[in-house]
């Protein structure tokens, strides 16, 4: 049985003692030639403004593959150049796709959490929604948890501060860990997570295996 689970990474290599969910934000056909777990999604930074429909068609073509565990990262970003209305359209389509395929969503969200909650709500999404790279305040964490969302934490956990305080008291069944593009070993993030929550390393390993099974069915 693997120990560590990295639910969102851009690192091509899997951890030696674990599994990872590799993220593809373009060239979705890559998923077809690789049996490893991955997530596919149109990132708000990388929407093809000339041909957004073709990009969605390509996503839809590969997203149903069994090794594709989630749709995303997708979402909304108020700090990028991509027109917001185009982001909303791409996100809406991906919400529908995730719901149709019954796969969880991995969310990228920057300064657009109200819009995120509104869109997820009005699309009547029942699949799990995971906000990745969470690094915000207590109020927002509570707001997202109240919506039933999951939060995923990465390298920001290694820095002492408010985020650690939030993480320390988070419900055990509502979080994941990830390396994203940090280049860190997922084991280092697990170590920090166990220390912050003042629990044994094995306890967090078992809990995250359980969370992974509940959300991703694996």
Residues that bind Zn ion (CB under 5 A): 180
The CB-of-169 to Zn ion minimum distance in angstroms stands at 26
- Find the shortest distance in angstroms from Cβ 69 to Zn ion: 14
What minimum distance in Å lies between the beta carbon of 217 and Zn ion? 22
Shorter beta-carbon distance to Zn ion: residue 77 or 180: 180
**Nearest residue to the partner Zn ion, using Cβ:** 180
Cβ proximity to Zn ion, 58 vs 73, nearer residue: 73
In the bound state with Zn ion, the residue whose beta carbon lies nearer, of 22 and 197, is 22
Q: Which helix (H) or strand (E) holds 21?
A: strand 18-24
Using DSSP, state whether 93 is helix, strand or coil: helix
Considering the complex, state which of residue 24 and residue 197 has its C-beta at the smaller distance from Zn ion.
24
How far is residue 44 from each of residues 30, 60, 82, 179, measured CA to CA in Å? 20, 17, 7, 20
- Within 13 Å, how many C-alpha atoms sit on residue 46's CB side? 16
Alpha-carbon distances, residue 64 vs 59, 101, 138, 142 (angstroms): 9, 7, 35, 32
Cβ 10 to Zn ion shortest distance, Å: 6
Based on CB atoms, which residue is closest to Zn ion, 40 or 197?
Answer: 40
Q: Give the distance, in angstroms, between the CA of residue 22 and the centroid of all CA atoms in the same chain.
A: 11
Nearest to 94 by CA among 20, 181, 28, 180: 28
The distance of closest approach from Cβ of residue 206 to Zn ion in the complex, given in angstroms and rounded to an integer, is 26
Alpha helices in 75-200 (DSSP H): 84-101, 113-122, 138-146, 162-168, 186-197
């Amino acid at each position: 049985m693997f120990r560590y689970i990295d639910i969102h990474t851009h690192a091509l290599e899997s951890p030696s003692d674990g599994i990872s969910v590799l993220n593809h934000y373009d060239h979705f056909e890559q998923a077809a030639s690789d049996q490893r777990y991955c997530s596919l999604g149109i990132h708000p930074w990388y929407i093809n403004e000339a041909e957004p429909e073709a990009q969605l068609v390509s996503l839809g073509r590969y997203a149903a593959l069994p090794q594709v565990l989630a749709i995303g990262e997708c979402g909304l970003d108020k700090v990028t150049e991509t027109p917001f209305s185009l982001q909303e359209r791409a996100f809406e389509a991906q919400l529908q796709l995730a719901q149709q395929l019954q796969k969880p969503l991995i969310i990228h969200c920057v300064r657009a959490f109200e819009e995120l909650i509104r869109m997820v709500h009005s699309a009547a999404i029942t699949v799990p929604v995971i906000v990745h790279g969470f690094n915000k305040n207590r109020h927002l964490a509570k707001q997202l948890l109240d919506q039933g969302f999951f939060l995923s934490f990465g390298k920001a956990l290694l820095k002492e501060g408010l985020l650690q305080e939030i993480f320390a008291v988070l419900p055990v069944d509502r979080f994941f860990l990830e390396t994203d593009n940090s280049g860190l070993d997922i084991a280092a993030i697990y170590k920090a997570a166990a220390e912050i929550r003042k629990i044994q390393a094995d306890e967090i390993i078992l809990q995250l295996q359980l969370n992974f099974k509940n959300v991703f069915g694996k």
